[in-house]
C-alpha cells in the first residue's frame, strides 16, 4: 500500500506543479476559445490542462517501474506500456482539438485507433463471466470489438460530463477510488496478480485528478480540455478492461459445486466492472440521454447543447458549487454502494443505507435555494455565503462605531443606522459579501 500511496503522491505533485506553467503556455499559444452558447463560465479560460495530467501519468508509471513490488507489474505484464501508448495517442488528439477544434468524427476515429493500439499490445478482454452460464471465452474479434466499444463509451461519457469547474476530475477521482479498493482487494485478498495493473492504473488516475483539481475548482483558472477529459476516460476504461475479462473466477476460490454456481455468486462482484457503467453511471446516463435528445431533434449526436445533467441542475436554481457537489454525491453513492454490495451482497444494511442516502440526495435536489448556515460562533471560520443572513460579522461590528454619534435610539432601544452611515461602515467588504451571496 505504501508504494501505491507514493505513486499517487508523485503523480499528484507533478500534475499540480506543471498545471501553472501549462496555463501560461496555453495563454501564449492562444488555447483560450471564446465563450460559447453552451458554456457556463463568463470569461475566456485557457485549456490544455491535459498536458500536465499526461506528464503526471508518465511520472507515476516511471516511479512505479522503479519500486520493489510494483516493478513486477512491468515485468510480468505489458499492460502499462499498452496504456501509455494509447494514452499518448489520445492525448495528442485532445491537444489538437483544444487548439484547433477538430471534427467530432475525427476524434471518434482517433479514440478507436487508441483503443486498437492497446488491444494489439495485450490490453483486451479475453472472457466474460455470464450468470447461469459460466465463463464465456471470446474470440479475438469479439474481444477487440468489446474492448474498443468500452473504451469509446467511457471516453465520451467523461468528455460529456466535463461541463462545470471541477466536475469531471472529481467524479473520475471518486470512481477511481472505488475501483482501486476493488482491484486491491482482488490482488491481496485472493492473491491474483492479474489485478495488479488495474490497481496501479487506479492509483495513478487518482493522482492525476487530485493534482489538477486545485486549479480547476470554481472559479477555474484552467480547463483540462479534451486533452484531459479523454485521457482520464481512457485510463479509467483501461483499468476496467484490465481486470474485468482477465481475472478468472476459478482463481478466486468461490466454488459452490460448479463453475456455473461460482459465476452466479460472483455477479455482485463483476457488475461494477463487466461494463463500467456503475463507476461512471452518471456520465454514462448523461451520454445516453444526450444521444437520444439530439437524435430526436434531428441533430447530430455530436452536436453540443445545454441539455446535460449539470446544465439542468443550474436551470433548476442550484449554484455552480452546489451542482458539482450534488453530482459528486450521487457518483460516490453509486460507486461505493456497488463496491459494498460486491463485498457482501447478503447484507440488508447496505441496501437500506443506499436507499437512505438516495433520499437525502433527492431532498437536496428539491431544495436548490437552501443554503446551510453555520452557527454564530463559527461564522468567522467559514466563507461569507455560509453565514446567517445579514451583514457579515466585521460589518456588524463596524456599523455601530460609525453610527454612534449620528443615529439616535429607536422606540425599542436599538441603534438606527442611516443609509449613509451603513454605506460608510460597510464599504468594499459589504459589497464583496453581497457579490459572494449572489
Q: What is the pLDDT of residue 255?
A: 40
Question: For cell 508518465, what's the residue?
Answer: 58
* CA pair distance 398, 416, nearest whole angstrom: 14
- With beta carbons less than 8 A apart as the criterion, state whether 30 and 201 touch: no
**Residue 329 corresponds to which cell in the numbers above?**
454525491
Higher pLDDT among residues 45 and 236, named by residue: 236
Chain-centroid distance, C-alpha 93: 21
* CA pair distance 52, 169, nearest whole angstrom: 13
Report the candidate in 237, 204, 209, 189 with the shortest Cα–Cα distance to residue 73: 204
Report the candidate in 201, 181, 205 with the shortest Cα–Cα distance to residue 241: 201
Q: What is the pLDDT of residue 116?
A: 94
Taking CB atoms within 8 Å and a gap of at least 24, the contacts of 109-112 are 111/151, 111/152, 111/155, 111/156, 111/230, 111/234, 112/148, 112/152
Give the torsion sign (CA, 175, 177, 180, 184).
negative
Average pLDDT rounded to a whole number, residues 219-246: 87
Higher pLDDT among residues 274 and 255, named by residue: 274
Per-range mean pLDDT, top range of 50-64, 150-164, 286-300:
50-64
Q: What is the pLDDT of residue 406?
A: 40
Q: What is the pLDDT of residue 411?
A: 38
**Residue 406 corresponds to which cell in the numbers above?**
449620528
Average pLDDT rounded to a whole number, residues 91-119: 91
As a whole-number percent, the residues of the chain with pLDDT over 90 amount to 26
- 188 has pLDDT over 60: yes
Question: For cell 457503467, what's the residue?
Answer: 277
- 98 has pLDDT over 60: yes
| 375-384 pLDDT, tens digit each | 777 777 666 6
Higher pLDDT among residues 405 and 317, named by residue: 317
Beta-strand runs (E) in 134-263? 134-137
Going from N- to C-terminal start, the domains of the chain cover 2-366, 376-407+415-437
Q: What is the pLDDT of residue 308?
A: 63
What rounded mean pLDDT belongs to the chain? Answer: 75
**Which residues are 114's β-sheet partners?**
none
* Per-residue confidence band for 261, with pLDDT thresholds at 50, 70 and 90: low
Higher pLDDT among residues 410 and 200, named by residue: 200
Point out the least confidently predicted range of 67-76, 123-132, 205-214: 123-132
Instruction: Compute how many other C-beta atoms are within 10 angstroms of the C-beta atom of residue 363.
Output: 10
* CA pair distance 343, 426, nearest whole angstrom: 56
The answer to whether 159 is a known ligand-binding residue is yes
| 119-162 pLDDT, tens digit each | 999 888 887 766 666 667 788 898 899 899 989 988 988 887 77
Transcribe 239-298 into DSSP letters.
HHHHHHTTS-GGGGT--SSSHHHHHHHTHHHHHHHHSTTTTTHHHHHHHHHHHHHHHHTT
Average pLDDT rounded to a whole number, residues 49-70: 93
- 25 has pLDDT over 70: yes
Question: For cell 463483476, what's the residue?
Answer: 270
Average pLDDT rounded to a whole number, residues 289-314: 69
> How far separated are the first and last CA of the chain, in Å rounded?
45
- 94 has pLDDT over 90: yes
Q: How far is CA 324 from CA 47, 88, 138, 363, in A?
A: 20, 29, 39, 16
Q: What is the pLDDT of residue 4?
A: 93
Burial class (CB in 10 A: 0-12, 13-18, 19+), 207: buried
- With beta carbons less than 8 A apart as the criterion, state whether 58 and 84 touch: yes
**Residue 150 corresponds to which cell in the numbers above?**
468500452
**Residue 273 corresponds to which cell in the numbers above?**
466492472
Q: What is the pLDDT of residue 423?
A: 43
* CA pair distance 143, 108, nearest whole angstrom: 19
* Per-residue confidence band for 404, with pLDDT thresholds at 50, 70 and 90: very low
Q: How many CA atoms lie within 13 A of 174 on its CB side?
A: 26
- 345 has pLDDT over 80: no
Name 253's Cβ contacts closer than 8 Å, sequence gap at least 6.
Answer: 190
**Residue 10 corresponds to which cell in the numbers above?**
508523485
- With beta carbons less than 8 A apart as the criterion, state whether 40 and 163 touch: yes
Question: For cell 516511471, what's the residue?
Answer: 62
- 191 has pLDDT over 80: no
| 324-337 pLDDT, tens digit each | 887 888 888 887 87
Q: What is the pLDDT of residue 178?
A: 85
* CA pair distance 96, 44, nearest whole angstrom: 18
Q: What is the pLDDT of residue 250?
A: 57
The answer to whether 156 is a known ligand-binding residue is no
- 429 has pLDDT over 50: no
Transcribe 45-63 into DSSP letters.
----THHHHHHHHHHHHHH
Amino acid at each position: 500500500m505504501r508504494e501505491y500511496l507514493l505513486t499517487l503522491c508523485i503523480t499528484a505533485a507533478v500534475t499540480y506543479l506543471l498545471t501553472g506553467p501549462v496555463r501560461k503556455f496555453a495563454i501564449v499559444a492562444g488555447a483560450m476559445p471564446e465563450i460559447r452558447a453552451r458554456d457556463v463560465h463568463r470569461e475566456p479560460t485557457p485549456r490544455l490542462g491535459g498536458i500536465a495530467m499526461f506528464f503526471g501519468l508518465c511520472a507515476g508509471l516511471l516511479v512505479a517501474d522503479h519500486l520493489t513490488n510494483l516493478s513486477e507489474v512491468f515485468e510480468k505484464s505489458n499492460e502499462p506500456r499498452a496504456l501509455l501508448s494509447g494514452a499518448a495517442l489520445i492525448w495528442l488528439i485532445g491537444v489538437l482539438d483544444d487548439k484547433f477544434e477538430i471534427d467530432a468524427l475525427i476524434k471518434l476515429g482517433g479514440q478507436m485507433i487508441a483503443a486498437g493500439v492497446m488491444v494489439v499490445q495485450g490490453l483486451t478482454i479475453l472472457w466474460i463471466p455470464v450468470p447461469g452460464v459460466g465463463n464465456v471465452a471470446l474470440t479475438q474479434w469479439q474481444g477487440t470489438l468489446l474492448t474498443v466499444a468500452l473504451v469509446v463509451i467511457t471516453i465520451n461519457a467523461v468528455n460529456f460530463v466535463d461541463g462545470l469547474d471541477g466536475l469531471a476530475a472529481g467524479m473520475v477521482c471518486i470512481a477511481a477510488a472505488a475501483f482501486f479498493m476493488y482491484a486491491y482487494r482482488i490482488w491481496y485478498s485472493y492473491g491474483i496478480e492479474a489485478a495488479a495493473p488495474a490497481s496501479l492504473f487506479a492509483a495513478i488516475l487518482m493522482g492525476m485528478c487530485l493534482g489538477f483539481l486545485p486549479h480547476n475548482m470554481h472559479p477555474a483558472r484552467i480547463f483540462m480540455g479534451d486533452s484531459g477529459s479523454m485521457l482520464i476516460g481512457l485510463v479509467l476504461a483501461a483499468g476496467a478492461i484490465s481486470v474485468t475479462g482477465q481475472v478468472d473466477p476459478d482463481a478466486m476460490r468461490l466454488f459452490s459445486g460448479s463453475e456455473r454456481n461460482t459465476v452466479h455468486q460472483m455477479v455482485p462482484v463483476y457488475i461494477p466492472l463487466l461494463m463500467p457503467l456503475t463507476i461512471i453511471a452518471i456520465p454514462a446516463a448523461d451520454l445516453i440521454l444526450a444521444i437520444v435528445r439530439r437524435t430526436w431533434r434531428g441533430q447530430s449526436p455530436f452536436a453540443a447543447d445545454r441539455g446535460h445533467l449539470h446544465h439542468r441542475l443550474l436551470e433548476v436554481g442550484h449554484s455552480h458549487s452546489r451542482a458539482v457537489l450534488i453530482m459528486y454525491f450521487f457518483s460516490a453513492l453509486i460507486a461505493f454502494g456497488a463496491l459494498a454490495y460486491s463485498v457482501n451482497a447478503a447484507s440488508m444494511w447496505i441496501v437500506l443505507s443506499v436507499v437512505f442516502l438516495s433520499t437525502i440526495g433527492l431532498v437536496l435536489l428539491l431544495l436548490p435555494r437552501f443554503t446551510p448556515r453555520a452557527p454564530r460562533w463559527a461564522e468567522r471560520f467559514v466563507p461569507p455565503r455560509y453565514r446567517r443572513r445579514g451583514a457579515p460579522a466585521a460589518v456588524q461590528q463596524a456599523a455601530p462605531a460609525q453610527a454612534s454619534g449620528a443615529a439616535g435610539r429607536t422606540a425599542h432601544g436599538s441603534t438606527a443606522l442611516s443609509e449613509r452611515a451603513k454605506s460608510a461602515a460597510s464599504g468594499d467588504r459589504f459589497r464583496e459579501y453581497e457579490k459572494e451571496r449572489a
